[in-house]
Amino acid sequence: MDPRDLLPMGEITRRSGFAASAIRYYEAEGLIEADRSSGGQRRFERNVLRRLAFIRAASNVGLTIGEIRDELSRLPDNRTPTKADWHRISRHWRQRLDDQIAALERLKSGLDGCIGCGCLSLRSCAFSNPGDVLDQRGPGAGLLPDTLRRPHPTRR
């Protein structure tokens, strides 16, 4: 491939909006690939910009780096996603967003139910939902899906 078609780091950061450190991180994590110049500097193929756009979109939807890697690994490396690829993926993402929205709606209606009573009772109020009323999967269990649970450290 003609080396003039390869983009240096500066170009990538400018055009993708990611910091150089993030780009290097994504490479280290295997989300993107980079060639090297004779002197060891990164030279990116143009399709990396597409992958980065995909990464940003996925991360907006709330996917973790690991999940993004999985999705990307299902796209043959040098192919831009076909309509079929994109359709499958976007259905998946849409479902996630729907789940998150539904969870927030549930939370809101719990809240609405509490406005009248001012209770916040430990035993009966589903909104504040302590450990002995519902199960023990962590704060918010039963009301929030994993994707919205504030990522608690070392959740066993």
The single-letter code of the amino acid at 78 is N
The entry of DNA, a copy of itself, none near residue 131 (CB within 5 to 8 angstroms by kind) is: a copy of itself
Rg (CA), the chain: 22
- Does 132 help bind DNA (rule: CB under 7 A)? no
Minimum CB separation of residue 107 from DNA in Å reads 17
Distance CA 30, CA 39 (A): 22
The entry of DNA, a copy of itself, none near residue 130 (CB within 5 to 8 angstroms by kind) is: a copy of itself
Per-residue x/- mask for DNA, residues 23 to 62, rule CB under 7 A?
-xxx-------x--xxxxxx----------------x---
Q: Give one DSSP letter per residue of 99-120, joined into a string.
A: HHHHHHHHHHHHHHHHHHH---
Minimum CB separation of residue 48 from DNA in Å reads 12
Sign of the torsion angle spanned by Cα atoms 125, 127, 129, 134 = positive
Distance CA 129, CA 111 (A): 11
The entry of a copy of itself, DNA, none near residue 126 (CB within 5 to 8 angstroms by kind) is: none
Distance CA 33, CA 134 (A): 46
Residues that bind DNA (CB under 7 A): 8-11, 13, 18-22, 24-26, 34, 37-42, 59, 64-66, 139, 150-154, 156
